[in-house]
Amino acid sequence: MKPMLYTVLFCIAIFVMTVAALTIAYIGIPVVTFYSPFIYVIAFFLLYHFLVRPLNQKISGRRILLLSVSVVAMATVLTQSAKIIVTPQWSFSVTTDKPTYMFGEEIGITVSLRNDGFITHSFQSGLSDPVVVLIEYQYSENPTVTSQVWYSSTVSENSTGFSVEPHQCLERKFIWNQTNIHTLGKEIESGTYLIKAFIPSATSEIPGTNNLFFNHTRINITSP
């Protein structure tokens, strides 16, 4: 066999083995990860027997080593680049039109899920309209204690798939008119309110648990 053909086959074998190893490490499938050391021992034995030894008779061991390092480096760069491209990159935010409100003002809330990746990415939510907003009053004497005053209605609890194109947003807007839906007719208090937004996963049995995305912000409501 000609040296060039040995060299090409050697490079292909090293490239494939490197990509396979990095892919297995990235995906992390337990069964494949367990058996991969045995597979690689066999693969390296075959590589040495059928390609390295014949190639070593035609070019020096130093060149074989240099060739191996070069191919591994190239395979690593390509694999990591592919990983960056296919890995979802999301940014999830909840904002209001201003930080402080007077009693009686409508409060506009915007929740946005942005795809910062390079390709269209998808997710599966436990709701047909995935975004949920909760508003809680934060007690000034103990900020760790809150009480819920409002939440957005959920359309239906059906597992639904959503896709967002690169650099596009899935956006939902809400209006809170400062009502306390748990105690009708009771006026809310002035102070700090915590606004939580989340998208539950398809496996979430109760909205608010096992969320795919979560974020929060705060507003102040003041009396005249």
Does pLDDT of 208 surpass 70? no
Backbone angles phi, psi at 200, to 5 degrees: -75, 150
Pairwise CA distance, residues 47 & 10, whole Å = 8
| Tokens at 76, concatenated | 């690593």
SS3 of the chain: the string is CCHHHHHHHHHHHHHHHHHHHHHHHHHCCHHHHHHHHHHHHHHHHHHHHHHHHHHHCCCCHHHHHHHHHHHHHHHHHHHHHHHHHHCCCEEEEEEECCCEEECCCCEEEEEEEEECCCCCEEEEECCCCCCEEEEEEECCCCCCCEEEEEECCCCCCCCEEEEECCCCEEEEEEEECCCCCCCCCCCCCCEEEEEEEEEEECCCCCCCCCEEEEEEEEEEEECC
Using one digit for the tens of pLDDT, what is the confidence trace for 9-25? 888 888 998 898 888 88
Rounded to whole angstroms, the Cα distance separating 64 from 51 reads 11
d(CA 26, CA 192): 43
State yes or no: pLDDT of 57 exceeds 60: yes
The tens digit of pLDDT for each residue in 141-178 reads 888 899 999 998 765 677 889 999 999 999 999 999 99
**pLDDT tens figures, 128-140:** 889 999 999 999 8
Encoding tokens for residue 66? Answer: 């240099």
| CA distances (Å), origin 110, targets 91, 174, 195 | 14, 6, 11
Query: Any idea which residue has 């402080």 for tokens?
Result: 100
pLDDT for the residue 53: 74
Q: Global pTM?
A: 0.76
